[in-house]
Structure 1
Amino acid sequence: MAGTGIVVVSVLLAVCAFSCARADSCGKPEVTTTSYTTQDATVLTNIAYIAEISLKCSNAIKGLPLYAEVNGKILTAARTSDDNRYQVSWTEEVKKARTGNFNVNLFDEEGYTTLRKAIRNGEDVSSVKPLVSVTLNHPGAYNGPWVNSEFMAAALAVVVWYSAYTFRNKLLF
Protein backbone atom coordinates (compact mmCIF):
# COMPACT_ATOMS: atom_id res chain seq x y z
CA MET A 1 0.00 0.00 0.00
CA ALA A 2 2.85 2.40 0.78
CA GLY A 3 4.35 1.70 -2.65
CA THR A 4 1.12 2.80 -4.32
CA GLY A 5 1.22 6.15 -2.50
CA ILE A 6 4.76 6.77 -3.71
CA VAL A 7 3.72 5.99 -7.29
CA VAL A 8 0.73 8.36 -7.07
CA VAL A 9 2.90 11.13 -5.64
CA SER A 10 5.51 10.52 -8.34
CA VAL A 11 2.87 10.71 -11.07
CA LEU A 12 1.42 13.91 -9.58
CA LEU A 13 4.90 15.47 -9.42
CA ALA A 14 5.57 14.47 -13.02
CA VAL A 15 2.26 15.96 -14.19
CA CYS A 16 2.96 19.15 -12.24
CA ALA A 17 6.48 19.41 -13.66
CA PHE A 18 5.15 18.84 -17.18
CA SER A 19 2.48 21.50 -16.82
CA CYS A 20 5.01 23.97 -15.40
CA ALA A 21 7.46 23.25 -18.22
CA ARG A 22 4.77 23.76 -20.84
CA ALA A 23 5.65 26.70 -23.05
CA ASP A 24 3.38 29.72 -22.79
CA SER A 25 2.47 31.58 -25.92
CA CYS A 26 1.93 35.27 -26.41
CA GLY A 27 -1.63 36.27 -27.20
CA LYS A 28 -2.18 39.21 -29.58
CA PRO A 29 1.43 40.43 -29.64
CA GLU A 30 2.05 44.16 -29.95
CA VAL A 31 5.52 45.12 -31.13
CA THR A 32 7.50 48.32 -31.21
CA THR A 33 10.94 48.25 -32.72
CA THR A 34 13.99 50.39 -33.22
CA SER A 35 16.90 49.42 -35.40
CA TYR A 36 20.53 50.27 -36.05
CA THR A 37 22.81 49.38 -38.93
CA THR A 38 26.38 50.36 -39.66
CA GLN A 39 26.42 53.50 -41.79
CA ASP A 40 30.18 53.97 -42.36
CA ALA A 41 32.15 51.02 -43.72
CA THR A 42 35.35 52.78 -44.78
CA VAL A 43 37.54 50.88 -42.30
CA LEU A 44 35.25 47.99 -41.33
CA THR A 45 35.02 44.44 -42.61
CA ASN A 46 31.48 43.69 -41.37
CA ILE A 47 28.15 45.50 -41.31
CA ALA A 48 26.22 45.19 -38.03
CA TYR A 49 22.43 44.89 -37.98
CA ILE A 50 20.64 45.38 -34.65
CA ALA A 51 16.89 45.27 -34.04
CA GLU A 52 15.63 46.19 -30.57
CA ILE A 53 12.14 44.82 -30.04
CA SER A 54 9.61 45.54 -27.32
CA LEU A 55 6.93 42.85 -27.11
CA LYS A 56 3.66 43.26 -25.27
CA CYS A 57 1.31 40.30 -24.94
CA SER A 58 -2.40 40.59 -24.18
CA ASN A 59 -2.07 37.79 -21.60
CA ALA A 60 0.77 39.67 -19.79
CA ILE A 61 3.43 37.01 -20.30
CA LYS A 62 6.92 38.31 -19.56
CA GLY A 63 10.32 36.81 -20.17
CA LEU A 64 9.18 34.68 -23.08
CA PRO A 65 12.12 33.04 -24.87
CA LEU A 66 12.17 34.22 -28.49
CA TYR A 67 14.03 33.08 -31.58
CA ALA A 68 14.50 34.97 -34.82
CA GLU A 69 14.86 33.93 -38.44
CA VAL A 70 16.56 36.32 -40.86
CA ASN A 71 17.38 35.32 -44.43
CA GLY A 72 17.37 31.63 -43.51
CA LYS A 73 19.59 32.07 -40.44
CA ILE A 74 18.15 31.20 -37.05
CA LEU A 75 19.22 33.47 -34.20
CA THR A 76 18.41 33.69 -30.51
CA ALA A 77 16.75 36.92 -29.42
CA ALA A 78 18.66 38.21 -26.41
CA ARG A 79 16.49 39.50 -23.59
CA THR A 80 17.60 42.88 -22.27
CA SER A 81 17.12 44.21 -18.74
CA ASP A 82 13.33 44.40 -19.08
CA ASP A 83 11.37 41.18 -19.37
CA ASN A 84 9.62 42.26 -22.55
CA ARG A 85 12.52 43.85 -24.48
CA TYR A 86 14.66 41.80 -26.85
CA GLN A 87 17.56 42.37 -29.20
CA VAL A 88 18.35 40.51 -32.40
CA SER A 89 21.69 41.18 -34.04
CA TRP A 90 23.88 39.76 -36.77
CA THR A 91 26.72 40.81 -39.06
CA GLU A 92 27.53 40.40 -42.73
CA GLU A 93 30.68 41.10 -44.70
CA VAL A 94 30.72 44.52 -46.34
CA LYS A 95 30.99 43.00 -49.82
CA LYS A 96 28.00 40.69 -49.24
CA ALA A 97 25.82 43.19 -47.36
CA ARG A 98 22.83 44.46 -49.26
CA THR A 99 20.69 47.51 -48.76
CA GLY A 100 16.96 47.49 -48.24
CA ASN A 101 14.52 45.87 -45.86
CA PHE A 102 15.21 42.73 -43.84
CA ASN A 103 12.32 40.72 -42.43
CA VAL A 104 13.00 39.54 -38.90
CA ASN A 105 10.56 36.74 -38.06
CA LEU A 106 10.18 36.12 -34.32
CA PHE A 107 9.11 32.73 -32.96
CA ASP A 108 8.18 31.52 -29.51
CA GLU A 109 9.31 28.07 -28.38
CA GLU A 110 6.45 26.29 -30.14
CA GLY A 111 7.05 28.12 -33.42
CA TYR A 112 10.80 27.57 -33.12
CA THR A 113 10.24 23.83 -32.70
CA THR A 114 7.97 23.80 -35.76
CA LEU A 115 10.57 25.78 -37.74
CA ARG A 116 13.40 23.41 -36.79
CA LYS A 117 11.23 20.43 -37.72
CA ALA A 118 10.46 21.98 -41.13
CA ILE A 119 14.16 22.59 -41.75
CA ARG A 120 15.09 19.08 -40.64
CA ASN A 121 12.45 17.52 -42.94
CA GLY A 122 13.39 19.74 -45.89
CA GLU A 123 9.99 21.43 -45.95
CA ASP A 124 9.25 25.01 -46.94
CA VAL A 125 10.05 27.23 -43.94
CA SER A 126 7.80 30.03 -45.18
CA SER A 127 4.83 27.84 -44.26
CA VAL A 128 5.71 28.21 -40.57
CA LYS A 129 3.83 31.21 -39.19
CA PRO A 130 5.95 33.46 -36.96
CA LEU A 131 4.68 34.97 -33.74
CA VAL A 132 5.38 38.39 -35.23
CA SER A 133 7.48 39.80 -38.04
CA VAL A 134 9.35 43.12 -37.96
CA THR A 135 11.25 44.96 -40.68
CA LEU A 136 14.77 46.34 -40.34
CA ASN A 137 15.82 48.87 -42.97
CA HIS A 138 19.47 49.21 -44.02
CA PRO A 139 19.95 52.29 -46.22
CA GLY A 140 23.49 51.30 -47.12
CA ALA A 141 26.94 52.08 -45.83
CA TYR A 142 29.47 54.64 -47.01
CA ASN A 143 32.50 52.81 -48.40
CA GLY A 144 34.65 55.86 -48.99
CA PRO A 145 35.26 57.97 -52.08
CA TRP A 146 35.40 56.38 -55.52
CA VAL A 147 38.96 57.63 -55.98
CA ASN A 148 41.49 57.59 -53.16
CA SER A 149 43.08 60.89 -52.18
CA GLU A 150 46.58 59.44 -52.69
CA PHE A 151 45.75 58.67 -56.32
CA MET A 152 44.28 62.13 -56.85
CA ALA A 153 47.42 63.76 -55.37
CA ALA A 154 49.70 61.68 -57.61
CA ALA A 155 47.61 62.44 -60.71
CA LEU A 156 47.58 66.17 -59.90
CA ALA A 157 51.36 66.12 -59.40
CA VAL A 158 51.81 64.51 -62.84
CA VAL A 159 49.51 67.10 -64.46
CA VAL A 160 51.39 69.99 -62.79
CA TRP A 161 54.78 68.54 -63.79
CA TYR A 162 53.63 67.98 -67.40
CA SER A 163 52.21 71.51 -67.61
CA ALA A 164 55.39 73.05 -66.21
CA TYR A 165 57.62 70.98 -68.48
CA THR A 166 55.55 71.84 -71.57
CA PHE A 167 55.44 75.56 -70.69
CA ARG A 168 59.23 75.57 -70.06
CA ASN A 169 59.89 73.99 -73.44
CA LYS A 170 57.71 76.59 -75.19
CA LEU A 171 59.64 79.41 -73.51
CA LEU A 172 63.07 78.01 -74.38
CA PHE A 173 62.37 77.17 -78.01
Structure 2
Amino acid sequence: MTSIVQALLAVSLVLLPVSIYGDTCLAPQVKSQSYSTPEAIVSFDTVLIVEFSLTCKNNLKNVNLYADVAGRTIPATRIGEPNKYQISITDEPKKLPSGAYEIRFFDEEGFALLRKAQRSGESTSSLKPLFTITLNHPGIWSGPLIQSEFVAAMTAIIVWWMAYTQRGKLLA
Protein backbone atom coordinates (compact mmCIF):
# COMPACT_ATOMS: atom_id res chain seq x y z
CA MET A 1 0.00 0.00 0.00
CA THR A 2 2.78 2.42 0.85
CA SER A 3 4.53 1.71 -2.46
CA ILE A 4 1.36 2.67 -4.36
CA VAL A 5 1.06 5.93 -2.38
CA GLN A 6 4.74 6.67 -2.99
CA ALA A 7 4.31 5.98 -6.73
CA LEU A 8 1.26 8.26 -6.93
CA LEU A 9 3.12 10.94 -5.00
CA ALA A 10 6.09 10.69 -7.38
CA VAL A 11 3.85 10.88 -10.45
CA SER A 12 1.96 13.89 -9.04
CA LEU A 13 5.25 15.67 -8.27
CA VAL A 14 6.35 15.13 -11.88
CA LEU A 15 3.01 16.26 -13.35
CA LEU A 16 2.54 19.26 -11.03
CA PRO A 17 4.90 21.61 -12.94
CA VAL A 18 3.36 20.52 -16.24
CA SER A 19 -0.16 21.29 -15.02
CA ILE A 20 0.87 24.63 -13.52
CA TYR A 21 2.79 25.88 -16.56
CA GLY A 22 0.80 24.05 -19.22
CA ASP A 23 -1.60 26.92 -19.91
CA THR A 24 0.96 29.72 -20.04
CA CYS A 25 2.24 30.92 -23.38
CA LEU A 26 6.02 30.80 -23.23
CA ALA A 27 8.06 33.38 -25.19
CA PRO A 28 5.11 34.89 -27.12
CA GLN A 29 5.79 36.28 -30.58
CA VAL A 30 3.19 38.67 -31.95
CA LYS A 31 2.56 40.04 -35.44
CA SER A 32 -0.04 42.80 -35.45
CA GLN A 33 -1.93 45.18 -37.71
CA SER A 34 -3.93 48.14 -36.48
CA TYR A 35 -6.58 50.51 -37.78
CA SER A 36 -8.03 53.73 -36.42
CA THR A 37 -10.80 55.95 -37.73
CA PRO A 38 -9.18 58.59 -39.96
CA GLU A 39 -12.01 61.14 -40.23
CA ALA A 40 -15.10 62.33 -38.39
CA ILE A 41 -17.13 63.34 -41.43
CA VAL A 42 -18.62 59.89 -42.07
CA SER A 43 -18.63 58.49 -38.51
CA PHE A 44 -19.73 59.65 -35.09
CA ASP A 45 -17.35 57.47 -33.05
CA THR A 46 -13.64 56.77 -33.12
CA VAL A 47 -12.80 53.12 -33.69
CA LEU A 48 -9.49 51.46 -32.85
CA ILE A 49 -8.94 47.90 -34.12
CA VAL A 50 -5.94 45.65 -33.51
CA GLU A 51 -5.67 42.29 -35.29
CA PHE A 52 -2.78 40.05 -34.31
CA SER A 53 -1.45 36.51 -34.46
CA LEU A 54 0.23 34.89 -31.47
CA THR A 55 2.90 32.19 -31.60
CA CYS A 56 4.02 30.50 -28.39
CA LYS A 57 7.29 28.65 -27.91
CA ASN A 58 5.40 25.73 -26.35
CA ASN A 59 2.90 25.62 -29.31
CA LEU A 60 -0.04 26.55 -27.11
CA LYS A 61 -3.19 27.14 -29.21
CA ASN A 62 -6.34 29.18 -28.60
CA VAL A 63 -5.24 30.96 -25.44
CA ASN A 64 -7.90 33.12 -23.80
CA LEU A 65 -6.54 36.67 -23.91
CA TYR A 66 -7.71 39.92 -22.35
CA ALA A 67 -6.59 43.43 -23.28
CA ASP A 68 -6.14 46.38 -20.95
CA VAL A 69 -6.42 49.70 -22.79
CA ALA A 70 -6.18 52.83 -20.64
CA GLY A 71 -7.88 51.09 -17.70
CA ARG A 72 -10.57 49.48 -19.86
CA THR A 73 -10.46 45.67 -19.92
CA ILE A 74 -11.85 43.82 -22.94
CA PRO A 75 -11.59 40.21 -24.16
CA ALA A 76 -9.67 39.44 -27.33
CA THR A 77 -11.84 37.66 -29.87
CA ARG A 78 -10.46 34.67 -31.77
CA ILE A 79 -10.97 35.04 -35.51
CA GLY A 80 -10.47 32.58 -38.31
CA GLU A 81 -7.39 30.47 -37.94
CA PRO A 82 -5.95 29.31 -34.60
CA ASN A 83 -4.06 31.90 -32.57
CA LYS A 84 -5.41 34.85 -34.58
CA TYR A 85 -7.17 37.48 -32.47
CA GLN A 86 -8.82 40.88 -32.71
CA ILE A 87 -9.84 43.61 -30.29
CA SER A 88 -11.84 46.74 -31.04
CA ILE A 89 -12.45 49.86 -29.00
CA THR A 90 -15.18 52.36 -29.86
CA ASP A 91 -15.82 55.67 -28.16
CA GLU A 92 -16.41 59.38 -28.76
CA PRO A 93 -13.52 61.26 -30.40
CA LYS A 94 -13.08 63.34 -27.22
CA LYS A 95 -12.48 60.18 -25.16
CA LEU A 96 -10.04 58.66 -27.70
CA PRO A 97 -7.74 61.53 -28.66
CA SER A 98 -4.73 61.18 -30.93
CA GLY A 99 -1.64 59.52 -29.51
CA ALA A 100 0.01 56.18 -28.85
CA TYR A 101 -2.10 53.65 -26.97
CA GLU A 102 -0.24 50.90 -25.14
CA ILE A 103 -2.41 47.79 -25.15
CA ARG A 104 -1.38 45.23 -22.55
CA PHE A 105 -2.48 41.62 -23.08
CA PHE A 106 -2.99 39.10 -20.29
CA ASP A 107 -3.75 35.38 -20.21
CA GLU A 108 -6.23 33.87 -17.71
CA GLU A 109 -3.79 33.99 -14.79
CA GLY A 110 -2.66 37.55 -15.51
CA PHE A 111 -6.26 38.66 -16.02
CA ALA A 112 -7.20 37.26 -12.58
CA LEU A 113 -4.36 39.28 -11.02
CA LEU A 114 -5.44 42.37 -12.98
CA ARG A 115 -9.06 42.10 -11.81
CA LYS A 116 -7.91 41.51 -8.22
CA ALA A 117 -5.77 44.67 -8.35
CA GLN A 118 -8.65 46.67 -9.91
CA ARG A 119 -11.13 45.50 -7.26
CA SER A 120 -8.78 46.36 -4.39
CA GLY A 121 -7.95 49.77 -5.89
CA GLU A 122 -4.26 48.97 -6.37
CA SER A 123 -2.17 50.18 -9.28
CA THR A 124 -2.18 47.80 -12.24
CA SER A 125 0.97 49.26 -13.81
CA SER A 126 3.20 46.88 -11.84
CA LEU A 127 1.53 43.78 -13.35
CA LYS A 128 3.60 42.17 -16.09
CA PRO A 129 1.52 41.52 -19.23
CA LEU A 130 2.01 38.52 -21.50
CA PHE A 131 2.87 41.00 -24.29
CA THR A 132 2.19 44.59 -25.31
CA ILE A 133 1.11 46.16 -28.61
CA THR A 134 1.36 49.90 -29.24
CA LEU A 135 -1.33 51.42 -31.46
CA ASN A 136 -0.58 54.85 -32.94
CA HIS A 137 -3.78 56.83 -33.48
CA PRO A 138 -3.07 59.97 -35.54
CA GLY A 139 -6.41 61.49 -34.61
CA ILE A 140 -9.45 62.21 -36.69
CA TRP A 141 -9.79 64.74 -39.47
CA SER A 142 -12.92 66.86 -39.17
CA GLY A 143 -12.81 68.20 -42.69
CA PRO A 144 -11.66 71.47 -44.22
CA LEU A 145 -12.29 74.76 -42.45
CA ILE A 146 -14.19 76.05 -45.48
CA GLN A 147 -16.55 73.66 -47.26
CA SER A 148 -16.15 73.22 -51.01
CA GLU A 149 -19.80 74.15 -51.58
CA PHE A 150 -19.17 77.53 -49.97
CA VAL A 151 -16.10 78.13 -52.17
CA ALA A 152 -18.10 77.20 -55.31
CA ALA A 153 -21.00 79.49 -54.33
CA MET A 154 -18.68 82.42 -53.58
CA THR A 155 -16.84 81.91 -56.90
CA ALA A 156 -20.15 81.89 -58.76
CA ILE A 157 -21.24 85.09 -57.02
CA ILE A 158 -17.93 86.84 -57.78
CA VAL A 159 -18.04 85.77 -61.45
CA TRP A 160 -21.66 86.99 -61.70
CA TRP A 161 -20.78 90.32 -60.03
CA MET A 162 -17.80 90.86 -62.34
CA ALA A 163 -19.91 90.05 -65.43
CA TYR A 164 -22.72 92.32 -64.21
CA THR A 165 -20.38 95.26 -63.59
CA GLN A 166 -18.66 94.78 -66.98
CA ARG A 167 -22.06 94.67 -68.69
CA GLY A 168 -22.98 97.90 -66.96
CA LYS A 169 -19.79 99.56 -68.26
CA LEU A 170 -20.46 98.36 -71.81
CA LEU A 171 -23.98 99.75 -71.83
CA ALA A 172 -22.95 103.12 -70.44
TM-score > 0.5, shorter chain as reference:
yes
Please say if 1:147 is aligned against 2:130: no
Checking the alignment, whether the CA contact within 8 Å between 1:54 and 1:84 is kept in structure 2 is yes
- 1:31 is matched with 30
Match of 2:58 in 1: 59
Cα displacement string for residues 118-140 of structure 1 (whole angstroms, at most 9, x for unaligned residues): 11111111111111001112233
1:152 Cα shift? 1.8
Contact in 2 for aligned 1:104/1:133 (Cα 8 Å) = yes
What SS does the corresponding residue of 2:125 show, helix, strand or coil?
Answer: helix
Aligned residue identity for 1:28: A
Other structure's SS at 1:133 match? strand
TM-score, structure 1 length as denominator? 0.75
User: Match for residue 3 of structure 1?
Assistant: none
> Which TM-score applies when normalising by structure 2?
0.75
Shift of 1:141: 3.4
Give the Cα separation in 2 of the matches to 1:165 and 1:95: 48
Q: Number of aligned pairs?
A: 155
2:135 and 2:157 map into 1 onto residues whose CA distance is: 47
Distance 1:25 1:114 in 2: 14
Pairing of 1:114-133 with structure 2 (within 5 A)? 114-133=113-132
User: Once the two structures are aligned, what percentage of the paired residues are identical?
Assistant: 46
State how far apart, in whole Å, the 1-side matches of 2:19 and 2:158 are.
79
Structure 2 counterpart SS, 1:127: coil
Structure 1: give runs of 5+ residues left out of the alignment. Answer: 1-18
Q: How far apart are the structure 2 equivalents of 1:27 and 1:40?
A: 39
How big is each residue's C-alpha offset from its partner over 1:138-164, in whole Å with a ceiling of 9 and x where there is no partner?
233333222112222333344345545
CA offsets 1:1-42 (integer angstroms, 9 cap, x no match): xxxxxxxxxxxxxxxxxx989981111111111112223432
The CA deviation at 1:86 is: 0.8
Cross-structure match for 1:43: 42
Instruction: Give the distance between the partners of 1:152 and 1:23, measured in 2 at CA.
Output: 66
CA gap 1:47/1:20 in 2 versus in 1, 3 angstroms: same
| Equivalent residue runs for 1:60-99 within 5 Å | 60-99=59-98
What residue is the counterpart of 2:7 in the other structure? Answer: none
1: distance between equivalents of 2:146 and 2:94?
Answer: 18
